[in-house]
Amino acid sequence: MSMKVQAVYQGGMFRPLHPLPLDEGETVDLTIAKSQPLAAPANDEETTRRLRAAATIAEWIEATEMLPADDGGYDIASALDENRIWSGERGLFSDEGIDK
């Protein structure tokens, strides 16, 4: 398996910018290259195409970085929880929504 990961070098160690799908203590080979800032997407279609084409979580996370900044008021986890409860499924954070 190989993946491209952005990391910051701090205190003599590399710190990935996002969580990695690796087991704790797993050994990996690194190739180091200074990264260039990502260019802004040309349009919404490009962002959508990259999100749909993502084959790994790392690719999906990289594509989500092309999305506009958070508006500060939308909580996606809360919205998903409400959606699940509304449809009669178990809530993500509680047992609410289950017919007992």
Does residue 77 have a pLDDT over 50? yes
Does residue 19 have a pLDDT over 80? yes
Question: pTM score, two decimals?
Answer: 0.35
Mean pLDDT confidence for 66-90: 76
Domain ranges of the chain: 7-68, 70-100
String of DSSP letters for 15-33: EESS--S--TT--------
Does residue 30 have a pLDDT over 70? yes
